[in-house]
Structure 1
Amino acid sequence: MAAAAAARPLVTVQYLENDMATDGGAANSVPLPDVMKASIRPDIVTFVHGQISNNARQPYAVSKRAGHQTSAESWGTGRAVSRIPRVPGGGTHRAGQGAYGNMCRGGRMFAPTKIYRRWHRKVNLTQKRHAIVSAIAASAVPSLVLARGHRIEEVPELPLVVSDTTEAVEKTSLALKVLKQVGALPDAEKAKDSHAIRPGKGKMRNRRYISRKGPLVVYGTEGAKLTKAFRNITGVEVAHVSCLNLLKLAPGGHLGRFIIWTKSAFEKLDEIYGSILTQSMPTLMIL
């Protein structure tokens, strides 16, 4: 699947309006990083995503007294009824009903949940990095990006690399213009139009609304101003190239996230993830 990306050794840098003089018009292309040619492993991505997603869970458990807040006792044998504990008394429907058991109305659940469950999962570091590399490589394959539901019909090229002047954008209105110039605005509008109320009980649990994912903007300069400009656009996410997370590169464990790279971030991929001639960064400096 990475053959489509490997067939193009150079990637064109998409310049914005009025920045040719400041960003250098001669260098209008950059070499394709070797990480874009890596093998795509959906099995590893799905497994790692499922494991690291568990780390965000909050412990929960039922009450220790749930289902046992009654003075039920078994009637014993000889009455032609089961030996389940029964509520005492008379003159009411509740009297004589079974209690405590998980098969009884108002009884406790089977194997009550405990807060000391093993909530978190450890993932091998090399396996985690392999999943991130696979997700980055999949973002350069148009068929996978389209299959994930992104609107890239107007995008000139994948992977999409824009000039570094994008990192200086401070206003959301200018950020929308940048998305429009590179053909990524339809994908952002898709995410905005998909804003809806979640079905089910999640509405009552602080996750009332859902929306689809838009493009991911990856920048390479620490403290870049574009974070404030893009963070207010529904569905658009921002990440530094040295802090790429599988939860952003492959939301839901599905490969093919639409990524917009700045030129500086794109040029750092070989330094971070390594190439044929160079090693990757130490494991302590990157996930």
Structure 2
Amino acid sequence: MSRPTVTIYGADGSATKDSAPLPNVFKAPIRPDIVQSVHTGMAKNKRQPYAVSEKAGHQTSAESWGTGRAVARIPRVSGGGTHRAGQAAFGNQCRSGRMFAPTKVWRKWHQKINLGQKRFATASAIAASSSAALLMARGHRVSTVPEVPLVVSSTAFSGAAVKKTSAAINLLKAVGAGQDLEKVRLSKKIRAGKGKLRGRRHTQRRGPLVIYEPEKDGKEIVTATRNIPGVETCPVYALNLLQLAPGGHLGRFIVWTSSAFNALDSIYGSTTQPAE
């Protein structure tokens, strides 16, 4: 970015007289390869262990007929009077048999992520959020946004001013995020495949990410925005790469509060000053 400062916008979308110096973290190198690698590891570490039942495929009485019958020696269900009698059982090649190498919950699920790379990826994702080209390449509608990074004055959130969902929607529309909200609303589709049956029925695009400073901005902003499709919130002290670069793709549209924006230098430091 060529400008050393960033304009701060009010709740009505107009530019205030205040400006903020650009935090040094926005000068971090943009490395899609590192971001993709770290994102893959973090996404894997959110998995829930799964396994088939230990009894599956073995809940029947079956014994091999032995040799001399001109049939395979696989165990066969005993008895008679039903189609099941005489059918092969237990083997992974059998109908109603167990699978090969039944899955276990004690599989090694966790993937270690280098801490330095994890911090680098977060800084890189923050830096990428200041590039309008990367935001548009990711699919965000930012043609009406006056400036990126977009910083909104914390006074707009003081005194629980943004407590209702309607107030949050009006604020986002005022600062130019209305087109992105509309894109999300129109993007809701029914998922293709079996995920429909497994609690993942709908797919939907991501909208703006609102980053706030919990002590100064209050937490009412979380309840105000949580019911807006596509909008997510995150405290500035707990930034998450899964939100900053969904899918491992750089260029998330971020709405910063001025308090959160000013806290970035103390969190990430600079080339001359360490983080606090």
Same fold (TM over 0.5): yes
Matched, 1:218 2:204: no
* Worse-matched range after superposition: 68-77 or 139-148: 68-77
Structure 1 counterpart of 2:195, which letter? G
1:285 — aligned with what?
Answer: none
Distance 1:91 1:226, change over 3 A: closer
Matched, 1:151 2:147: no
Distance 1:19 1:145, change over 3 A: closer
1:198 pairs, out of 171, 178, 191, with 191
Contact 2:77–2:89 (Cα < 8 Å) also in 1: yes
CA displacement at 1:19 relative to structure 2: 8.7
1:41-94 per-residue CA deviation (whole Å, 9 max, x = no partner) reads: 222222222222233222222111111112222233333333222223445433
Contact 1:74–1:84 (Cα < 8 Å) also in 2: yes
Structure 1 counterpart of 2:93, which letter? M
Distance 1:146 1:118, change over 3 A: same
2:169 — aligned with what?
Answer: 176
Percent identical residues: 61
1:240 — aligned with what?
Answer: 235
Query: What secondary structure, in the 3-state scheme, does the structure 1 residue paired with 2:169 have?
Result: helix
Query: What secondary structure, in the 3-state scheme, does the structure 2 residue paired with 1:69 have?
Result: coil
Distance 1:143 1:18, change over 3 A: closer
**CA distance in structure 2 between the aligned counterparts of 1:32 and 1:18, rounded to whole angstroms:** 20
Structure 2 counterpart of 1:40, which letter? I
Aligned residues, how many?
271
Task: Compute the RMSD of aligned alpha carbons.
Answer: 2.1
Contact 1:166–1:226 (Cα < 8 Å) also in 2: no
1:105 — aligned with what?
Answer: 95
Contact 2:13–2:171 (Cα < 8 Å) also in 1: no
2:270 — aligned with what?
Answer: 275
Query: What secondary structure, in the 3-state scheme, does the structure 1 residue paired with 2:157 have?
Result: helix
CA displacement at 1:108 relative to structure 2: 0.4
1:57 — aligned with what?
Answer: 47
Contact 2:184–2:207 (Cα < 8 Å) also in 1: yes
Structure 2 counterpart of 1:185, which letter? G
Structure 1 counterpart of 2:209, which letter? L
Structure 1 counterpart of 2:199, which letter? N
1:161 pairs, out of 146, 151, 166, with 151
Contact 2:13–2:174 (Cα < 8 Å) also in 1: no
1:130-174 per-residue CA deviation (whole Å, 9 max, x = no partner) reads: 111111111111222111111111111111111112323222222
Contact 1:154–1:183 (Cα < 8 Å) also in 2: yes
1:86 — aligned with what?
Answer: 76
Structure 2: which 5+ runs fail to align? none
Contact 1:167–1:224 (Cα < 8 Å) also in 2: no
* Worse-matched range after superposition: 166-175 or 146-155: 166-175
TM-score, normalization: structure 1?
Answer: 0.86
Matched, 1:48 2:38: yes
